[in-house]
Amino acid sequence: MEENTRNNNIKEVMKKTIKYLKGIGEVREKLFHRLGIYNIEDLVSYFPRDYEDRNNIKKINELQDDEKCAFEGQISSRVTEHRPKRGFTISKLVIKDETGSITASWFNQPYIKNVFKPGEKYIFFGKIARKFNSIEIQNPIYEKAGEDKFKNMCRIVPVYPSTMDLSQNVIRAAVRSAMDAVGSNVEESLPPSIKEKYKLPEINYAYSNIHFPISFEDFKNARYRLVFEELFFMQIGLLSLKATLTNEHKGIKFNKDDDRMDAFIKALPFSLTCAQENVFCEIKNDMESNKVMNRLVQGDVGSGKTVVAALALYKAVLSGYQGALMVPTEILAGQHYITMSKLFKGFGVNVALLTGSKTAKEKRETIGKLKKGEIQILIGTHALLEDKVEFNSLGLVVTDEQHRFGVRQRAVLSKKGNDPDVLVMTATPIPRTLALILYGDLDISIINELPPGRKPIKTYAVDNGMRQRIYDFIRKKVKEGRQIYMVCPLVEESEEISARSANELAGTIAENDFKDMRVGLVHGKMKPKDKEAIMGDFVKGNLDILVSTTVIEVGVNVPNATVMVVENSERFGLSQLHQLRGRVGRGEEESFCILFNEGKGAVAKERMKVMEKTNDGFVISEKDLELRGPGEFFGTRQHGLPELKIANLYKDMEILKIAQEAAINIITEDPKLSSDENIRIKMAVKEKFEGKIEGLSFL
């Protein structure tokens, strides 16, 4: 009973708006809103981005050049003022202790002269500059020494993410009042067994020490607990989603394979790799069971995911169902349509294409046939998601290059059937721990082998000084009958960004360097019809050089293209460069990737080295993660997961592993989180995920 009242009280306190806090008026309230802070709870969970160690009070002679330090000293002069220019004041002051003296100066803070009186003792904090015989400090912050309770001195002080308009002191004061209001009444959200097993400190200790740590040791413990908690709940949420998707809905039980499948596999233009066979086997098991399949197929570029999709689609068709294949671009949809039509020729399967650029009449016809069940496999872009697209009996949904689609979009397509099986294909290989977060709602299959006979693509990072030699090389390759891609980061010239644009490059080379060759241009701002026409020309071999933006990044297959040139490679993520490179090396001929790189820093150089050294997508994505952080994978937020407030998926990989293990154990033992212990977890996850992820209905 008592516990209940306290819990209700703390909930009320957490939801109080910040304007009740001392020092927050209307103006500041608005500024806090801009940081996403509306109530006490927002403030309490607004975590610092850094800390300043003002704990260690030094003697003046111990102050190190270029370091931020705190020291105590006595004012030994009056404030002197200089006005080197109009509207510009410098106030100076000499401070001393028994070891030496230091000059402090403040710019444009004329009130300083009224603050300090000779003989008084203060604590200062700021960046130290040592020059010849003097020590200086500029714009230091200060507090009077000897006060009982230092607010911002003699302690580790948090530094919050902020905008210019809200000073650190204002944010700190607001957080402190919020923490005072909350007291030590924050409800524990982790069950005791988890806290004990993973040696996690208590929640109130964690909040208190993440904001105002007593020591760095305490900060570390506090952060560990909060990171663990965040990742743990995220993982529980995803695992629960998966459990709901697979268990609560009865899936279609597809027939076991018969000789028609064998005949189809025999008729393929190649034999499957072991990896393809294994992955198809995993898919088959899912499809033949009455669970709803939710499977991710990861495979490096060129590993042969398309044919695996074709096998699964055929399996659905053989059981009397329809299949859908959704891809992110028109070009890719067109190519898959051609590939699938060829594979299914003579197998009595009707394959159709639906994209935004089809005429209204064509669309109507396709949709009509689809509804009647006359089309068995529908390939298309986002156009498949439109309301009017209705299936007769959708049994399998495949999305290719899934990082372009979110959880939501997949769900929309799935709703067009009666709990169809779902297969997601991606060419962005990511470390397993991350896959569990990004695709935590999916089972994972990996095609870890390339079809035989692939030669690694020779990759060279060069600078502009090499341009003439590269152009000579391109000329030679075109003479040999090969085709060339040249990719630019921009469509048009831009005043803000200095990088090559596709427009400009295509114009220049068509008029000068390669005027005797057939040069085409394709980019995302073109009409789909025009894009398709140009791509079509390139596929047919009617163009020698295709200048483009990253629209050709995904999936396109032109085996005769053997040289990939990327302009301003420094502007692309490594995984993206790897994708682009994957456009070549698809045929018998030796292939090359030339990366023009304008990036000067050490990281830029290292990134290019990685590309030169390895063709392995997994290695590249790990490196990308290390060098650029997980922003690359999580930047767009289109996957629809709640944002992480404190955990860093790269730096906290170790904690992630442990939290994952904990989450998996709990969900395995108590899938519905219904034990007394786990109810708290359920409530916490519910709060975090509700409304954010479709289909999460277990709660």
Candidates 307, 430, 484, 534; binder of ligand ADP (CB under 6 A) is 307
Q: How far is the CB of 499 from Mg ion (least distance, A)?
A: 27
Contact call for residues 575 and 482 (beta carbons, < 8 A): no
Q: How far is the CB of 573 from ligand ADP (least distance, A)?
A: 18
Instruction: Write out the binding residues for ligand ADP, residues 640-679 only, by CB under 6 A.
Output: none
DSSP 642: P
Question: 100-107 and 88-97 as β-strands: parallel, antiparallel, unpaired?
Answer: antiparallel
Select from 676, 574, 698, 680 the least CA-distant residue to 633: 574
Candidates 45, 306, 322, 414; binder of ligand ADP (CB under 6 A) is 306
Give me the residue label for tokens 């007593």: 214
Give me the residue label for tokens 């040139």: 565
Q: Rounded CA gap, 47 and 62, in Å?
A: 32
Q: Does 336 bind ligand ADP (CB under 6 A)?
A: no
Could you say which of Mg ion, ligand ADP, none residue 564 binds, taking C-beta under 5 to 8 angstroms by partner kind?
A: none
Q: How far is the CB of 177 from ligand ADP (least distance, A)?
A: 56
Q: How far is the CB of 337 from ligand ADP (least distance, A)?
A: 13
Q: How far is the CB of 17 from Mg ion (least distance, A)?
A: 50
Specify the residue, 157 or 447, whose C-beta has the smaller distance to Mg ion: 447
Q: Does 273 bind ligand ADP (CB under 6 A)?
A: yes
Here's the x/- map for ligand ADP, 231-270, by CB under 6 A: it reads as ---------------------------------------x
Give me the residue label for tokens 């993660």: 625
Q: Rounded CA gap, 619 and 431, in Å?
A: 9
Candidates 303, 381, 414, 575; binder of ligand ADP (CB under 6 A) is 303
Here's the x/- map for ligand ADP, 394-433, by CB under 6 A: it reads as ---------------------------------x------
Candidates 557, 560, 614, 638; binder of ligand ADP (CB under 6 A) is 557
Q: Which two tokens stand for residue 423?
A: 């297969």
Identify the H or E element spanning 378: strand 377-380
Which residue stretch of 31-39, 86-94, 305-313, 531-539 sits at the interface with Mg ion (rule: CB under 5 A)? 305-313
CA 94 to chain centre: 50
- CB-closest chain residue to Mg ion: 555
Could you say which of ligand ADP, Mg ion, none residue 270 binds, taking C-beta under 5 to 8 angstroms by partner kind?
A: ligand ADP
Q: Rounded CA gap, 393 and 320, in Å?
A: 8
- CB-closest chain residue to ligand ADP: 304
Identify the H or E element spanning 535: helix 528-540
Question: 483-487 and 561-566 as β-strands: parallel, antiparallel, unpaired?
Answer: parallel
Specify the residue, 559 or 671, whose C-beta has the smaller distance to ligand ADP: 559
Q: How far is the CB of 314 from ligand ADP (least distance, A)?
A: 15
Q: Rounded CA gap, 551 and 527, in Å?
A: 13
Which residue stretch of 294-302, 432-440, 672-680, 688-696 sits at the interface with ligand ADP (rule: CB under 6 A)? 294-302
Instruction: Write out the binding residues for ligand ADP, residues 431-460 only, by CB under 6 A.
Output: 451
Could you say which of ligand ADP, Mg ion, none residue 276 binds, taking C-beta under 5 to 8 angstroms by partner kind?
A: ligand ADP
Instruction: Write out the binding residues for Mg ion, residues 529-558 only, by CB under 5 A.
Output: 555
Q: How far is the CB of 454 from Mg ion (least distance, A)?
A: 15
Q: How far is the CB of 593 from ligand ADP (least distance, A)?
A: 15
Which residue stretch of 120-128, 271-279, 588-596, 661-669 sits at the interface with ligand ADP (rule: CB under 6 A)? 271-279
Specify the residue, 246 or 276, whose C-beta has the smaller distance to ligand ADP: 276
Give me the residue label for tokens 């409304």: 691
Instruction: Write out the binding residues for Mg ion, residues 489-508 only, by CB under 5 A.
Output: none
Question: 68-75 and 57-58 as β-strands: parallel, antiparallel, unpaired?
Answer: parallel
Could you say which of Mg ion, ligand ADP, none residue 178 binds, taking C-beta under 5 to 8 angstroms by partner kind?
A: none
Q: Does 302 bind ligand ADP (CB under 6 A)?
A: yes
Specify the residue, 451 or 671, whose C-beta has the smaller distance to ligand ADP: 451
Q: Rounded CA gap, 143 and 125, in Å?
A: 9
Contact call for residues 447 and 275 (beta carbons, < 8 A): yes
Q: Does 216 bind ligand ADP (CB under 6 A)?
A: no
Could you say which of ligand ADP, Mg ion, none residue 278 binds, taking C-beta under 5 to 8 angstroms by partner kind?
A: none
Q: How far is the CB of 342 from ligand ADP (least distance, A)?
A: 10
Q: Does 177 bind ligand ADP (CB under 6 A)?
A: no
Identify the H or E element spanning 498: none
Could you say which of Mg ion, ligand ADP, none residue 174 binds, taking C-beta under 5 to 8 angstroms by partner kind?
A: none
HSE, CB side, 13 Å, CA atoms: give it for residue 215.
Answer: 2
Q: Does 304 bind ligand ADP (CB under 6 A)?
A: yes
State residue 478 phi and psi, 5-degree precision. -65, -40
Q: Rounded CA gap, 244 and 351, in Å?
A: 32
DSSP 142: E
Here's the x/- map for ligand ADP, 571-610, by CB under 6 A: it reads as ---------------x------------------------
Contacts of 141 (CB under 8 A, 6+ apart): 124, 125, 126, 152
Specify the residue, 226 or 307, whose C-beta has the smaller distance to ligand ADP: 307
Write down the number of H helices and E strands in the chain: 23, 23
Select from 313, 279, 284 the least CA-distant residue to 296: 279
Three-state secondary structure along 252-316?
Answer: CCCCCCCHHHHHHHHHCCCCCCHHHHHHHHHHHHHHHCCCCCEEEEEECCCCCHHHHHHHHHHHH
Q: Does 305 bind ligand ADP (CB under 6 A)?
A: yes
Q: Which two tokens stand for residue 431?
A: 């470390």
Question: 57-58 and 50-53 as β-strands: parallel, antiparallel, unpaired?
Answer: unpaired
Q: How far is the CB of 336 from ligand ADP (least distance, A)?
A: 9
If one counts every other C-beta atom within 10 angstroms of the C-beta of residue 266, the result is: 9
Distances (CA, A) of 196 to 210, 559, 674, 678: 20, 58, 20, 15
Q: How far is the CB of 301 from Mg ion (least distance, A)?
A: 7
Instruction: Write out the binding residues for ligand ADP, residues 3-22 only, by CB under 6 A.
Output: none
Specify the residue, 305 or 523, whose C-beta has the smaller distance to Mg ion: 305
Q: Rounded CA gap, 394 and 317, in Å?
A: 10
Which residue stretch of 93-101, 208-216, 298-306, 310-318 sits at the interface with Mg ion (rule: CB under 5 A)? 298-306
Q: Rounded CA gap, 321 and 265, in Å?
A: 19
Q: Does 699 bind ligand ADP (CB under 6 A)?
A: no
Q: Rounded CA gap, 288 and 277, in Å?
A: 16
Specify the residue, 352 or 447, whose C-beta has the smaller distance to ligand ADP: 447
Q: Rounded CA gap, 4 and 500, in Å?
A: 64
Under the rule (CB under 5 A), what is the footprint of Mg ion? Answer: 305, 555
Under the rule (CB under 6 A), what is the footprint of ligand ADP? Answer: 270, 272-273, 276, 299, 301-307, 427, 451, 555, 557, 586
